[in-house]
Chain A
Amino acid sequence: MDITARSAAELHTMLESKAISATELVREFIDRINKVEGNVKAFVTLTEESALEQAAKQDEKIARGEKIGPLAGIPMAFKDNMCLTGIRTTCSSKMLENFIPPYDATVVERLLDAGAISLGKLNMDEFAMGSSTENSAFFPTHNPWDLSCVTGGSSGGSVASVAADEVAYSLGSDTGGSIRQPAAFCGVVGMKPTYGAVSRYGLIAFASSLDQIGPVTKTVRDNALVLNAIAGHDTKDSTSVPFEKPDYTEFLVNDIKGLKIGIPWEYFGEGIDQGVARVIQEAIETLKGLGAEVTECSMPHTEYAMPTYYLIAPAECSSNLARFDGVRYGHRSQNNEDIISMFRKTRAEGFGSEVKRRIMLGTYALSSGYYDAYYLKAQKVRTLIKQDFDNALEKFDVLLSPTAPTPAFKLGEKLTDPLSMYMSDICTSPLNLAGLPGISVPAGFVNGLPVGLQLMGKAFSEGMLYRVAYTFEQNTDFHKVKPELTAEVVL
């Protein structure tokens, strides 16, 4: 197996045993990027030089005989909506094409402190709005399993870079499924932690009450290792929760005997691809075979999750994105008549059509005369959706569903049909509304494209999700299958 295909845990062992140096490891990944990036297009910005500098520092530590942490010296990358001092952070938008933050996001700070080596910033749907990464203002990212297919989104660069072995792991952000849905499309492990488990400080906001950062990895163990490093209370984020953070790797036991798994039948309704349904059914059988008690259940408000999500998320985004006006940073239109025309032209030129659509939707939903009917009503339904989860999770340890209703679709297929694109998040967005954790793990294939299994749990039950996901992974081989990628540019 190529070195770059190995898990972070394996790479750590190699670094510790001096089988490879951090610098050599970075060079291996740079070689791999040079080979496949022309087809995958996962990176908006590559920072090879600073990666080599960071690696040299880790090598010095190793040479001095210092003990290194589990993520030290291992190459990774950040979704391009997380601020990194001195490195341009674009949100894949023209608006921030040349924006260089003067500060680090908390997750960046924590990973760099842990010795992580950042190879750069990853492509995404503009301002994390989208389900295919085609809304990037720069270029779409391609699915390593089939270059004519989308990666899913919005964390398309985060999952594609991991699936294509350009990095050992990455961070993504998930507002309505933006980690889990693309993780399913690209056959990697993606976790959206409980709202408040990971600091949002330095994450350029899309919808503040829904956004959450999480790890994208090749294995469940790696996922637990990365969450160990990034989770935990942060005084810079008032919505971050002071909870007792466990060592998530302690939950990695190959045993789910007697665990209660609920299957909400609403997640298997209209729009679920037959192939996906079959893969998930097989996964359910596997879990039963491993001793889990699997029972169907009902979450009656699930059908309202999409409309609720598409009121709350745009409402918050309409306000969060108001600051991009050309006054202080980012794009500013030229030859403006006055301040109002500068605001208008800057925003007209700087934002793409999906971002504009959501700003319009959200502005409308918050407007006087419509607030009660839309935003307020959506908040009330949000409470009902959360109650559905609370009720179900009283009876079950975890809930199980497909991560996405279909496998990856073709590039361009849904671009002109936003509603059909929105339906891609139908299985993932309810969890964001409820603020609960969810993980997507590889569960099989349909026509050579990966399918993800979603596990959902109680607040701060990431450990339980890891246990079930790990047991499933250890008893299946889907995570071992790799996409074939060549250096020949086929695009």
Chain B
Amino acid sequence: MSVNDYEMVCGVEVHAELATKTKIFCSCTTEFGGEQNTHVCPVCSGLPGVLPVLNREVVNLAIKAGLALNCEIADYSKFDRKNYYYPDLPKNYQTSQFDLPICKAGWLEIMVDEEKKRIGITRAHMEEDAGKLVHSGETITSSMESFVDYNRTGVPLLEIVSEPDMRSIPEVIAYLEQLVEILEYTEVSDCKLEQGSVRFDVNVSIRPKGSSEFGIRSEIKNLNSYSSVRRCLEYEIERQAKILDEGERVIQETRTWDEGKGITLSLRSKEEAHDYRYFPEPDLVPLVIDREWVERISQTLPELPVARRARFQSLGLSEYDAKVLTDSKDLADFFDQALIEYKDAKVLANWVMGDFSRILNAQQCAVGDSPITPLQLAELLKLIEKGTISGKIAKSVIEDMYTTGKDAGTIIKEKGLAQISDEGALSGIIDGVLAANPQSVEDYRAGKERALGFLVGQIMKATKGQANPGKVNQLLKGKLS
């Protein structure tokens, strides 16, 4: 059989660092980097006698993520100890959640090949991150010396576990992208993949197409980019297909991804799997979450990308425009704020995605740092609508707005850019142009339409582009007829 004769079955565990200022059980900073072992205290370095105190903000963010992922938020939840020995784990147990996680039974919707699909989320639970090992050699076993940096120890994580609902690599990638987008949108995690603030474990098995039974799965741990996930799954499906084709059985095991070689390697088999000896964390009290708390958090929940896209489309934007605007929460927020003052969504979207974004990109300025406020952009568009300036002039005004931070109105006044719509004033200018170009007047009257365009151009030139084009056309035609 070829790879195409099999169907993959995949579920994903995502570890996302929660965007709190301080660690989950102490008041050390969660800031990334820093001199080794400087973001530590007796509590997170696991000195004898210390006790954890749960950071309330961690719970707030976990509830928020749970709500955004359509989960049930548990009234009663608790922490458990996951016991295993590793030098990056100061207590040799990780405080995590086992049988009573804070969030369960959620879902999110992905779109692949124009088809919507709902992916189930089994659970999401809070836990503490471990430290980082630095080896003198390649690996811990081949090194003469290893060092531990505990700065990351105790940084809060949310582990989000999906159902084995994904059947193709594009589905897996769509799920991960959608999930990361939601976590970013809700500001639950800053999702800096390059800093390892989001990590993926994939569980994957294959089965002959049409079969309804699950195959034997392998779990590949600690992937930190979409491309690693894609390549790793491609490799793993092929590896498993080869085993099945040879009439062998896939072994249930944990594997690791070698990014350089592009292969997965066995870490430990099911038999060698750790017995984590979970038991309730006796140093923390159970977490009781009342409905008011959940309600309070739900008030802070922003409109999620899917809903926002739908709303933008209902305002008359194309699917493409709606997607571009919502890809960045900041840009979508900017659009929404401007929309309060300026109601023509299509025109506004064109400006936000067009000139506004172009200037910011050219200046490498983030939307959040833009010197042009949403209100100022709305004012500019209103001035076009009122006919105070033309669209063309507006393009130069917005450049000035970026560099000076001034309002459109101020810039127009200072530079005298207001459009000339006064019929008396325009009439005089037109008369002058007609007197200076008798040949063109004659040509027009002889039926050469192009001559009109030339004359308009001359009038615009005479007014430095400030003449109201509509008015000019109207008056000019009157005078020539």
Binding site for B on A (CB under 8 A): 81-83, 89, 91, 96, 99, 101-103, 105, 200-205, 207-209, 235-239, 315-316, 318-319, 322-325, 327-329, 338-339, 343, 363, 366-368, 371, 375
CA distance A202 to B93 in the complex (A): 19
Q: Mark B134-148, 1 if CB is under 8 A from A, else 0.
A: 000000110000101
Contact of A319 among B47, B148, B279 (CB under 8 A): B279
Contacts A319-B93, A323-B91 given; does A238 touch B285 at CB 8 Å: yes
Instruction: Give, as a whole number of angstroms, the nearest-CB distance from A200 to chain B.
Output: 6
State whether B93 touches A89 (Cβ < 8 A). no
Whether B284 sits at the interface, judged by CB under 8 Å, is yes
State whether B51 touches A103 (Cβ < 8 A). no
Contacts of A322 in B (CB 8 A): 83, 85, 91-93
CA distance A197 to B45 in the complex (A): 26
CA distance A96 to B49 in the complex (A): 12
Whether B477 sits at the interface, judged by CB under 8 Å, is no
State whether B275 touches A343 (Cβ < 8 A). no
- B128-170 CB contacts (< 8 Å) to partner A: 140-141, 146, 148
State whether B85 touches A200 (Cβ < 8 A). no
Contacts of A105 in B (CB 8 A): 49
**Nearest residue, chain B, Cβ from A196:** B285
Contact of B53 among A101, A235, A363, A367 (CB under 8 A): A235
Instruction: Give, as a whole number of angstroms, the nearest-CB distance from A454 to chain B.
Output: 25
State whether A319 touches B90 (Cβ < 8 A). no
State whether B91 touches A363 (Cβ < 8 A). no
**Nearest residue, chain A, Cβ from B26:** A236
CA distance A89 to B49 in the complex (A): 10
State whether B141 touches A236 (Cβ < 8 A). no
Instruction: Give, as a whole number of angstroms, the nearest-CB distance from A214 to chain B.
Output: 17
Q: Mark B38-57, 1 if CB is under 8 A from A, else 0.
A: 00001001111111111000
State whether A319 touches B277 (Cβ < 8 A). yes
Interface of B is mostly: loop
Known: A101-B47, A239-B285, A322-B93. 6 other contacts (CB 8 A): A99-B48, A202-B49, A238-B52, A239-B283, A322-B83, A343-B85
State whether A103 touches B85 (Cβ < 8 A). no
Contact of A328 among B53, B85, B90, B93 (CB under 8 A): B90
State whether B275 touches A236 (Cβ < 8 A). no
Contacts of A89 in B (CB 8 A): 48-49
Whether B453 sits at the interface, judged by CB under 8 Å, is no
Contacts of B64 in A (CB 8 A): none
Contacts A319-B81, A319-B93, A339-B140 given; does A209 touch B49 at CB 8 Å: no
State whether A201 touches B49 (Cβ < 8 A). yes
Most buried by A among B45, B50, B146: B50
State whether A327 touches B148 (Cβ < 8 A). yes
Between-chain CB contacts (< 8 Å), 25 pairs: A82-B49, A102-B42, A103-B47, A200-B51, A201-B51, A205-B49, A208-B282, A237-B51, A315-B279, A318-B83, A319-B83, A319-B93, A319-B279, A322-B85, A322-B93, A324-B48, A325-B85, A325-B92, A327-B90, A328-B47, A339-B87, A339-B146, A366-B278, A366-B279, A371-B277
- B20-50 CB contacts (< 8 Å) to partner A: 42, 45-50
Contacts of B45 in A (CB 8 A): 328
State whether A238 touches B283 (Cβ < 8 A). yes
